[in-house]
A and B are shown apart, each in its own frame.
Chain A
Amino acid sequence: MRFLGKEIQSPLTLASGILGISFSSLQRVIRDGAGMVTTKSLSLEPRIGHAGPIIAEFEGGLINSVGLTNPGIHDGLLEVEKFHKEFAGVSIVSVFGADPDEFVSLAEAVNHSQADFLELNLSCPNVADEFKRPFALIPEKITEIVSAVKTVSKLPVLAKLSPNAYDVAGMASLAETAGADGITMINTLGHGMVIDAIARRPVLHNNFGGISGPCIKPLALKLIRDVYLKVNIPILGTGGVSNGLDAVEMMMAGAAAVAIGSAVYDRGLDVFRSTRQEMEAFMAEHGYADYADLIGILQEN
């Protein structure tokens, strides 16, 4: 199948922030059956991120407050170059800037790499203390950042949106108007908190973090549907997908490809191979010839 003009072996994609620091883990995920991999969000300078615990489990999923740990755009792109060396795989470089100028500098740096797509992380909830309200919640910022990046970027640009905005479809529409080539959604929900009652403390060092995993899937499906009905650019869906049926549902809602994050914690890296097999089994049983036949076919009651 194809995503934004690139041939991909499956619609399954590694979500940003999961294992995506080194070329070797990115290549491994492709070998395990993913069609695309997203790097950890890269900033201009290296970032240590928050102290641990950075993740906490609960019945419905995970909360995390990694705080955008990353080696910086320079070293991060060295990994991307190694990823593409004598290796066939589609890469998405996720970047995070503190303001529109930083996003432009990051996009220029990525222009000089072999990356396939640029993803703008407009929606990290874990650095709000540092960078204030995520851009994905501010209509003017979405327009400003996406337009500025589009004037310089040689790569197709995906805008990664937050489920925390009041009108997510409206935000997607602004990104499309500003020139975005695709939408990635959803980033983590909330902030949420997991509490250790014995210690009378939040488990995460940062006290709160973004919620991911199975509990956000219904929200992701609904928001992806809203956006699918509103815009004409492809959606890279993410949020709570942990098996083939989840991925099929997300494509039916409107996703053109599906990214997996937290399920790597529950099912290991095998999740890519098994999810792909489960999708293909479903498609064979129900008469779908191609992944692309699933996109958006949901019929509302």
Chain B
Amino acid sequence: MKCDRQTLPIAAIRAENPSLRTFVLETSLKAHPGQFIMLTIFGQGEKPFSILDVTNSSCSLTIKNIGPFTEALFQLKVGDLLSIRGPYGKPFSTETGRVLMVGGGFATPPLRFQAKALQELGVNYLVNINGARSADDLLYVPDFNDLCHRSLIATDDGSLGHLGTSVAVMETVLSEESFDHVYISGPEKMMQAAAQVARRYEIPFEVNLERYMKCGVGICGSCVMDPHGFILCMEGPVVDHEILEKLSEFGVYHRDKTGRITAL
């Protein structure tokens, strides 16, 4: 059967802020924005992570230290071995008209990759709204400045940019300018709010979802979403507004690591 596992030494580690690090692997993996890989630390486990970027010779991931697996990852040094399989999942579409991106928290890596990909395709007009709790939590501010025609910032505490959420800024931007497409990546409640705004303005959009993933290849069932059995690891994680409309559990519940329904 098909086998796409690669075992590679860590080529570089970059601290993005106190709790986020970017890990770079030397590989010629072909991947698109929105796709993810399953990452193994031998003896520790295997978890899904979005791809931050690929070049001809590298693949990088931006990871938050949030629990046992990521803590183990943060103990590793350049040269230590990691194993990846993938890329998996359906990437973002490639709209090159007037495009708005709305990001929240540490879910912005796929948007940075998307901004780069759309620039390479010659996007007409690209605006990014980068939201985080506080200035220290913002990711890739210079990159978004370089890659976008307009780059906005929103912080919950007002320490940088607009005071408030990226969704509030989105409201303002949409009342001022028109867009053909919106790409949204953030915590689920934030994406739910952003999706409502995009719907109100009748702009097609895509969101980047997360569910508990154990296999990544559509066999274990842990990521499946109700009510039609949508297999997020293969048919997502990027979901367009038409499919999202049918995912009744979006913003309401998910299944935990045993498969039990749990409120979000």
Interface of B is mostly: loop
The listed residue (B5, B47, B220) touching A196 by CB distance below 8 A is B5
Expressed in whole angstroms, the minimum distance between the Cβ of A23 and any Cβ of chain B is: 7
B1 and A57 form a contact (CB under 8 A)? yes
Contacts of B42 in A (CB 8 A): 196, 199, 201
Instruction: Give the complex CA separation of A52 and B41 in angstroms.
Output: 9
B 207-244 binary contact with A (CB < 8 Å = 1; else 0): 00000001101111110111111110010000000000
Q: In whole angstroms, how far apart are the Cα atoms of A203 and B40 in the complex?
A: 9
Cα-based distance from A38 to B2 in the complex (angstroms): 25
How many residue pairs between the two chains, A and B, have CB atoms under 8 Å in the bound complex? 143
Q: Are A27 and B44 in contact (CB under 8 A)?
A: no
- Which residues on the A side are within 8 Å of B228 (C-beta)? 24, 27-28
With a CB–CB cut-off of 8 A, which chain A residues contact B20? none
For the complex formed, measure the closest distance between the CB of B213 and the CB atoms of chain A, giving whole angstroms: 9
When distances are taken between beta carbons in the complex, the residues of chain B under 8 Å from A196 are 5, 7, 42, 83
**Which among B7, B217, B255 is the interface contact of A55 at CB below 8 angstroms?**
B217
Chain A residue at minimal CB-CB distance from B82: A199
CB contacts under 8 Å to B, within A221-276, are 262, 264-266, 268-269
The answer to whether B258 touches A268, judged by C-beta atoms less than 8 angstroms apart, is no
Mark interface residues in A13-34 (1 if CB within 8 Å of B CB, else 0): 0000111111111111100000
Contact between A22 and B226 (Cβ–Cβ < 8 Å)?
A: yes
Partner of B38, one of A51, A53, A59: A53
When chains A and B are docked, how far (Å) is the Cα of A133 from the Cα of B260? 28
Instruction: Across the interface, name the chain B residue whose C-beta is closest to A74.
Output: B260
Residues of chain A at the chain B interface (Cβ within 8 Å)? 17-29, 40, 46-49, 51-62, 66, 69-72, 75-76, 78, 196, 198-199, 201, 203, 205, 213-214, 262, 264-266, 268-269
List the 5 closest A-B pairs by CB distance, nearest first.
A52-B46, A28-B229, A71-B259, A19-B221, A51-B45
Sample of 11 further A-B pairs with CB below 8 A, known A22-B224, A52-B215: A19-B220, A19-B224, A24-B228, A27-B228, A52-B38, A71-B255, A71-B259, A71-B261, A198-B7, A213-B1, A268-B234
